[in-house]
């Protein structure tokens, strides 16, 4: 076994990658220079210095411990719908919980035990099949359970933590513990506890309901979404809604729909979406974000706070 003391300098992606190879199971995926644009819904941004798919909780614990010992920045990437990597890529380790060890969805009505890597859409469909209501809003969110918890993702009046009865999370030391929602820092579109802890799985509690009723609600949400939100690549809503106004309405009122920087455009359909017309760079998107924030502040005195996490090198 290697130890921190035996190798003083582990400061390059190749060295990080070698450290992981020595400590993780053979099923783990470890790559350097992994392109990230295709792993985000906005489809922009540079590569990850190192990309890891742990094959088990033990692998994940090793990754976090190694990162801690060597001061290597890390983040967990779900389906990439709420993160924007800058064009210079991510100087650290991007962890994906996409292997099957993290993807289970087990229904024990009225609860569903979900792995962090499970897709929200799949959870919504399993809930419907089991006659459990409360999960309908998840159907249209292109995210994973872990990402949904981290962001306290929501839509159509529902949000993730409305359903949570327990989260199993791993600390930077690799230890796993169960946490009640009351023990976690949760707010609108953010769970600060999951900034330095990784959600492994969660128990979500629904309400028994007739399947037709659930189906109708899901259909109505679906129609509303397709009617009001763009289909082009985007990161969903770009800004959190300020206290008294919808960010989309505000941006619309400012006449900013259609405003363009390079390949990034404020959607004509919904003002709070920036869409990638195909050739946008992360810099285009960031410039457009700044332009919108500036106009909202100068003309309306409103500070728009990005909902999307912007990370990586310029
Ligand atoms: N509106 C406009 N112009 C626009 C956009 C919206 O006038 O360009 C008006 C709408 O007509 C409506 C109001 O603003 O009267 C609110 O719009 P909408 O119903 O679309 O809701 P939202 O507040 O913009 C929120 C969530 C969405 C979620 C929808 C549907 C946030 C930041 N956004 O949007 O979540 O899908 O409700 O429930 O909380 C996301 O978080 O990524 C996201 C897309």
Q: Which atom of ligand 1 is nearest to the CA of 237?
A: 42
**Sign of the CA dihedral 225, 78, 132, 170?**
negative
| Ligand 1 atom 20, closest CA | 228
Q: How many CB atoms lie within 10 A of CB 93?
A: 25
pLDDT value for 10: 54
| Ligand 1 atom 38, closest CA | 156
Measured from the CB, is residue 228 less than 6 Å from ligand 1?
yes
Q: Which atom of ligand 1 is nearest to the CA of 269?
A: 8
- What letter would DSSP give residue 211? H
Measured from the CB, is residue 160 less than 6 Å from ligand 1?
no
Measured from the CB, is residue 249 less than 6 Å from ligand 1?
yes
Residue 265's Cβ-count burial label (10 Å; 0-12, 13-18, 19+) is buried
pLDDT value for 239: 98
Measured from the CB, is residue 143 less than 6 Å from ligand 1?
no
d(CA 249, CA 273): 11
Measured from the CB, is residue 260 less than 6 Å from ligand 1?
no
| pLDDT mean values, one per 10 residues, the chain (314 residues) | 39 91 97 98 98 98 97 97 98 98 98 98 98 97 97 96 98 98 96 97 98 97 96 97 96 98 98 97 98 98 97 95
pLDDT value for 11: 73
pLDDT value for 8: 35
Measured from the CB, is residue 147 less than 6 Å from ligand 1?
no
For residue 141, report the phi and psi dihedrals to the nearest 5 degrees.
-95, 120
Measured from the CB, is residue 156 less than 6 Å from ligand 1?
yes
Helix (H) or strand (E) holding 177: strand 176-179
198 neighbors 102 (Cβ within 8 angstroms): no
Helix (H) or strand (E) holding 205: strand 198-205
State in Å: Cα 241 to ligand 1 middle. 8
Q: Which atom of ligand 1 is nearest to the CA of 273?
A: 44
Measured from the CB, is residue 252 less than 6 Å from ligand 1?
yes
Task: Show the CA angle centred on residue 168, arms to residues 161 and 166, nearest 5°.
Answer: 40
DSSP state letters, 24-68: S-TTSEEEEEEE-GGGSSS----EEEEEEE-SSHHHHHHHHHHHH
Measured from the CB, is residue 76 less than 6 Å from ligand 1?
no
Residue among 116, 72, 124 nearest 98 (CA): 116
Cα→Cα distances 50→16, 17, 23, 124, Å: 8, 7, 15, 32
State in Å: Cα 246 to ligand 1 middle. 6
Measured from the CB, is residue 271 less than 6 Å from ligand 1?
yes
β pairing state of 154-155 and 132-133: unpaired
Q: To 10 degrees, what angle do helices 120-129 and 211-228 make?
A: 150
β pairing state of 164-170 and 176-179: antiparallel
State in Å: Cα 161 to ligand 1 middle. 19
Measured from the CB, is residue 150 less than 6 Å from ligand 1?
no
Q: Rounded to two decimals, what is the model's pTM? A: 0.94
**Sign of the CA dihedral 31, 172, 182, 105?**
positive
CA-based radius of gyration for the chain: 20
């Amino acid at each position: 076994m290697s130890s921190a003391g035996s190798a003083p300098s582990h400061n390059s992606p190749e060295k990080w990658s070698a450290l992981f190879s020595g400590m993780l199971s053979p099923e783990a995926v470890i790559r350097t220079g992994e392109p990230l644009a295709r792993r985000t819904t906005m489809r922009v941004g540079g590569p990850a210095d190192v990309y890891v798919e742990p094959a088990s909780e033990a692998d994940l614990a090793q990754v976090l411990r190694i990162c801690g010992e060597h001061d290597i920045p890390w983040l967990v990437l779900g389906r990439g719908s709420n993160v924007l990597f800058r064009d210079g890529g991510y100087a650290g380790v991007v962890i994906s919980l996409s292997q099957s060890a993290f993807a289970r969805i087990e229904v024990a009505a009225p609860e569903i035990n979900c792995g962090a890597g499970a897709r929200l859409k799949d959870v919504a469909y399993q809930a419907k099949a089991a006659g459990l209501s409360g999960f309908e809003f998840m159907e249209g969110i292109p995210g994973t359970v872990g990402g949904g918890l981290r962001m306290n993702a929501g839509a159509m009046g529902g949000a993730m933590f409305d359903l949570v009865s327990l989260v199993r999370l791993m600390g930077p030391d690799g230890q796993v513990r169960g946490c009640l929602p009351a023990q976690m820092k949760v707010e609108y579109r953010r769970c600060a506890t999951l900034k330095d802890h990784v959600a492994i799985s969660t128990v979500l509690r629904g309400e028994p309901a007739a399947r037709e009723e659930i189906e109708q609600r899901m259909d109505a949400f679906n129609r509303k979404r397709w009617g009001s939100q763009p289909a082009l690549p985007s990161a969903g809503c770009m800004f959190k809604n300020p206290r008294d106004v919808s960010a989309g309405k505000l941006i619309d009122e400012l006449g900013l729909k259609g405003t363009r920087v390079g390949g990034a455009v404020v959607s004509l359909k919904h003002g709070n979406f920036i869409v990638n017309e195909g050739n946008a760079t992360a810099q285009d998107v960031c410039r457009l974000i700044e332009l919108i924030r500036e106009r909202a502040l100068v003309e309306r005195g409103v500070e728009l706070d990005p909902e999307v996490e912007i990370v990586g090198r310029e």
